[in-house]
Amino acid sequence: MRLFKLDINNKIKENLNIINFLNPDYIYIPYEKDIDLTKVSKNEPINSFKSSISGTIVGLKMGVFNNEYNNAYIIANNFKELETKKNKRIKISIENIKKILLENKETELLNKFNKESIDNIVISAINDEINVYNYMYLLKENANLYLDLIDEIRMFYKCTNNYLVIKNNESFIIDECLNVIGTYPSIVLTLVEDLYLIGKEQFLLDKLNITGNTLFLTIEDIDKLCKYLKIIDNTTKFITISDNVTCKIIRCKKYTLLSDIIEFAYPTLKNYHIIINGLMTGLEIDNPTYFILTDDIKSIHLLKKLPRFNKECLNCGKCINVCPVGVNPINGINLSNCLDCGLCTFFCPASINLREKIKGDSNE
Ligand code: SF4
Ligand code: SF4
């Protein structure tokens, strides 16, 4: 297994400050049967709508939420922001964690807690994608709250091998963690080299030489748990947004329209392609006026030109050599192993979009 240092200019991550976009003119709440329309039209509090924004319904719109089309109420913000209700924290226990994950249909995360015994707990604060820094900023803001929760979880499992893993070149977040980690002697801060895909569970455990029953969680998982347990406010979220030269970390209200976030962050930018959720593994979207900011959207990249042009194959074999799991994207050998990591596309000198080709081949 080989992991790669991607040759990209990521200087833009230095000195990033968080920018707030917490007062959009509109938010878009997915239609739910139990919403009381009469209350909302009287400008009554709409916390029950999953947002602290106060306002009135001014229409309906079709929107994309968590990858699915759904009807949405358009709420015009009256800028009388509601104080986020301090909900009572849910008592932390593995039973309660499983219960809330089941209620919120978080099957993948729930499965991680369905192990009889745990030998190691590994918390990854690694964002593999180029120019996506959400994990670092989540950790910077909430290090104590996250570490408290991790510490409680490790006590329930009586687990002695607990690691918080960060890339060794992310100095500002390392400093932040060093300031607080001393309070948690059972959690070891572990640094790893900045290699693409090191954040993936199988690669990271391999690199750290960790075997046995492992509870592997990302910082995003911990953040989610903190929100479900009502330790952290669940009405805002970070998103990384970049163009060809700059990058910004924006704290947004959930359910804001992506086009409004783009307009806020890059008001003068014109004629760009939009990729969401990473340059290596993301998705190009045509119309950001349909996409609503929900938990699945982590980043927006605005590119003047797409990096792929589908030229002729040069038969150089680079795509085969770089694949970490032995797929041959040209003839489809081992296609079922594909991680959709995008390395073959990144390294192809003819700029062929092999990720798309592989998806097409898999569907045949
Ligand atoms: S996208 Fe699939 S085929 Fe291409 S390098 Fe990654 S795992 Fe290999
Ligand atoms: S890396 Fe690109 S040019 Fe080289 S063999 Fe693969 S598809 Fe062809």
- pLDDT tens digits in sequence order for the chain, 364 residues long: 667 777 665 555 545 789 999 999 999 988 776 665 555 555 554 544 667 777 788 888 889 988 888 888 888 888 877 665 566 788 899 999 999 999 999 999 999 999 888 999 999 999 988 888 888 889 989 999 999 999 999 999 999 999 999 999 888 889 889 989 999 999 999 999 999 999 999 999 999 999 999 999 999 999 999 999 999 988 899 999 998 888 899 999 999 999 999 999 999 998 899 999 998 889 889 899 999 999 899 999 998 876 666 678 888 999 999 999 999 998 888 888 999 999 998 888 888 889 888 887 766 6
Neighbour-count burial of 285, counting CB atoms closer than 10 A to its CB (0-12 exposed, 13-18 middle, 19+ buried): middle
Q: Whose atoms come closest to the Cα of 343: which ligand?
A: 1
* Cβ 19 under 6 angstroms from ligand 2: no
Which CATH number does the domain housing residue 121 bear? Answer: 3.40.50.11540
Q: Name the domain boundary from 187, 206, 228.
A: 228
Residue 8: its pLDDT value, please? 62
Q: Are residues 178 and 196 in the same domain?
A: yes
Rounded to the nearest 5°, which phi and psi values hold at 307? Answer: -75, 0
Residues 128 and 208 in one domain: yes
On whether both 114 and 215 belong to a single domain, the answer is yes
| Closest residue by CA, ligand 1 atom 8 | 323
Q: Are residues 123 and 175 in the same domain?
A: yes
- Locate tokens 């950001």: which residue? 288
Q: Supply the residue whose CA is at minimum distance from atom 4 of ligand 1.
A: 344
Residue 153 carries which side chain, given as an amino acid letter? I
**Ligand 1 centroid to residue 166 C-alpha, Å:** 24
- The whole-number pLDDT of residue 74 equals 87
pTM of the model: 0.87
- Structural domain containing residue 332: 318-363
Q: Which one of the ligands is nearest to 2 CA?
A: 1
Q: Are residues 184 and 215 in the same domain?
A: yes
Q: Whose CA is nearest to atom 4 of ligand 2?
A: 316
Q: Is residue 15 one of the residues assigned to a domain?
A: yes
Longest C-alpha distance within the chain, in Å? Answer: 66
Say whether both 220 and 268 belong to one domain: no
Q: Is 148 exposed, middle or buried (0-12, 13-18, 19+ CB in 10 A)?
A: middle
Question: Do 155 and 112 have their domain in common?
Answer: yes
Q: What is the per-residue DSSP string for 276-326? A: ES-TTT-EEES-TTSBB--TT--EEEEESS-S----------HHHHH-TT-
Per-residue model confidence (pLDDT) at position 308: 61
**Candidates 323, 337, 347: which one to mutate for ligand 1, based on the most atoms within 8 Å of Cβ?**
323
Predicted pLDDT at 350: 85
In a shared domain, residues 79 and 98: no
- On whether the CB atoms of residues 292 and 255 are closer than 8 A, the answer is yes
Any ligand 2 atom below 6 A from CB of 315: yes
Give the distance from CA 172 to its chain's centroid.
20
347 belongs to a structural domain: yes
Shared-domain flag, residues 216 and 242:
no
Q: Does 322 contact ligand 2 (Cβ within 6 A)?
A: no
- Residues 146, 218, single domain; the answer is yes
> Counting ligands in written order, which one lies closest to the CA of residue 312?
2
Residues 192 and 217 in one domain: yes
- 43 falls within a domain: yes
Q: Do 67 and 24 belong to one domain?
A: yes
- Residue-level pLDDT at 44: 52
Domain boundary among 228, 244, 263: 228
Question: Does residue 3 lie within any of the structural domains?
Answer: no
Whether 313 is covered by a domain: the verdict is no
* 308 located within any domain: no
Q: How many domains does the chain have?
A: 3
| pLDDT for the residue 85 | 58
| Model pLDDT, residue 7 | 64
On whether residue 214 sits in a domain, the answer given is yes
pLDDT at 121: 98
- Which of 228, 246, 262 is the last residue before a domain boundary? 228
pLDDT of res. 312? 85
